[in-house]
Amino acid sequence: MPLDFPLIGARTAIWLAAQLHLFLAAFVLGAPIFIVVSEWLGLRTKDRRYERLAKETMKVVAIAYSLTAIFGVLFAFVLMGPYQPVANYLFKALYPVWMWYGVFILLETICMYLYWYTWEPLNRSLAGKWTHIGIGVLLNVLGTIVMLLMNAVTGFMNTPPKAIETAGLWTMVNNAAWWPLNLHRFLGNITFGGFVVALFAAFMFLTSKKEEDRAFYDWMGYIGNLIGVGALITMPLAGYILSKELFIYDAQLATFMMADKLSGYFVMQGLLVVLLFLGANFYMWLSMQRIEGAARFAPHMKAIFAVLLAGGVVWVVPQNFFPDLLAKPPAGVSEHALILPERFAFLGLMVAKALAVTAIIIMTFVTYLLYRRARATGRILWGGIDPMSQYVLIFIPAVAVYLMGLMGAIRSLTRMDYHIYGAVKDVTPYWYTATLGHSSIMVAIATVVFFLLVAFVFWVGFVIGKTDE
Partner 1 sequence: MARGLLKNIAALASGAAVFLLAAALLAWMIARVAEHPGVPRDAGKPPPWFTGEAGAVRETLEHSPVAPAPATGAQSGAAATGGDFVEVAGGSIEIALTEYEMKPGRIRTKPGTVVFVLRNEGRFAHNFHVEGPGVDTTAEKFSPGRTVRLQVTLQQGEYKISCPLSNHDQRGMHGTLIATSRPAGRLTADERR
**Sites for partner 1 among residues 86-105 (CB under 8 A):** none
**Sites for partner 1 among residues 399-418 (CB under 8 A):** 416-417
**Cα distances (Å, whole numbers) of residue 230 to 29, 53, 192, 193, 460:** 17, 18, 11, 12, 30
Q: Is 456 in the site for partner 1 (CB under 8 A)?
A: no
Q: Is 349 in the site for partner 1 (CB under 8 A)?
A: yes
363 vs 373: CA distance, rounded Å: 15
Helix (H, G, I), strand (E, B) or coil at 349: coil
Q: Is 386 in the site for partner 1 (CB under 8 A)?
A: no
Going through 133-280 in order, the beta strands assigned E by DSSP cover: none
Q: Which range, of 51-59, 268-276, 352-360, 438-446, touches partner 1 by CB under 8 A?
A: 438-446
**Sites for partner 1 among residues 11-40 (CB under 8 A):** 11-12
Interface pick for partner 1 out of 66, 88, 125, 252 (rule CB under 8 A): 252
* Nearer to partner 1 (CB atom), residue 32 or residue 405: 405
| Binding pattern for the stretch 212-251 against partner 1, x by CB under 8 A and - elsewhere | -----------------------------------x---x
Q: Is 353 in the site for partner 1 (CB under 8 A)?
A: no
Q: Is 468 in the site for partner 1 (CB under 8 A)?
A: no
* Nearer to partner 1 (CB atom), residue 8 or residue 110: 8
Residue length of the chain: 469
* Nearer to partner 1 (CB atom), residue 44 or residue 328: 328
Q: Is 435 in the site for partner 1 (CB under 8 A)?
A: yes
**Sites for partner 1 among residues 141-200 (CB under 8 A):** none
* Nearer to partner 1 (CB atom), residue 141 or residue 445: 445
332 vs 55: CA distance, rounded Å: 64
Q: Give the CA radius of gyration of the chain.
A: 23
End-to-end CA distance of the chain: 54
**Cβ 439 to partner 1 shortest distance, Å:** 9
Q: Which range, of 3-11, 289-297, 358-366, 393-401, touches partner 1 by CB under 8 A?
A: 3-11
Alpha helix positions (H), 317-434: 350-377, 388-413
Is 446 in contact with 16 (CB distance < 8 Å)?
yes
Kind and range of the H or E run holding 226: helix 211-232
Q: Is 433 in the site for partner 1 (CB under 8 A)?
A: yes
165 vs 87: CA distance, rounded Å: 17
Q: What are phi and psi of 320, to 5 degrees?
A: -155, 175
**Cβ 398 to partner 1 shortest distance, Å:** 13
Q: Is 260 in the site for partner 1 (CB under 8 A)?
A: yes
**Cβ 430 to partner 1 shortest distance, Å:** 6
Interface pick for partner 1 out of 322, 402, 450, 458 (rule CB under 8 A): 322
Q: Is 318 in the site for partner 1 (CB under 8 A)?
A: no
Q: Is 394 in the site for partner 1 (CB under 8 A)?
A: no
Provide CB contacts within 8 A for 169, sequence distance 6+: 94, 96, 97
**Cβ 178 to partner 1 shortest distance, Å:** 23
DSSP per-residue letters across 368-391: HHHHHHHHHHS-B-TT-S-THHHH
- Which candidate, 288, 314, 290, 315, places its Cα nearest to that of 300? 288
Pairing of strands 418-420, 424-425: antiparallel
Q: Is 295 in the site for partner 1 (CB under 8 A)?
A: no
Q: Is 342 in the site for partner 1 (CB under 8 A)?
A: yes
Q: Is 66 in the site for partner 1 (CB under 8 A)?
A: no
Phi-psi region of 425 (alpha: psi -120 to 50; beta: other; left: phi over 0): beta
Q: Is 138 in the site for partner 1 (CB under 8 A)?
A: no
Interface pick for partner 1 out of 3, 303, 327, 460 (rule CB under 8 A): 327
Is 214 in contact with 205 (CB distance < 8 Å)?
yes
**Count of residues of this chain found to bind partner 1 when the rule CB under 8 A is applied:** 50
Helix (H, G, I), strand (E, B) or coil at 104: helix
Sign of CA dihedral 185, 186, 188, 189: positive
**Cβ 321 to partner 1 shortest distance, Å:** 10
- Which candidate, 268, 283, 264, places its Cα nearest to that of 202? 283
Q: Is 332 in the site for partner 1 (CB under 8 A)?
A: no
Is 184 in contact with 126 (CB distance < 8 Å)?
no
Looking at residue 208, the DSSP 8-state letter turns out to be -
- Residues near partner 1, by CB under 8 A: 4-12, 247, 251-252, 254-256, 259-261, 319-320, 322-330, 335-336, 339, 342, 345, 349, 416-417, 429-430, 432-433, 435, 438, 441-442, 444-445, 448-449, 452
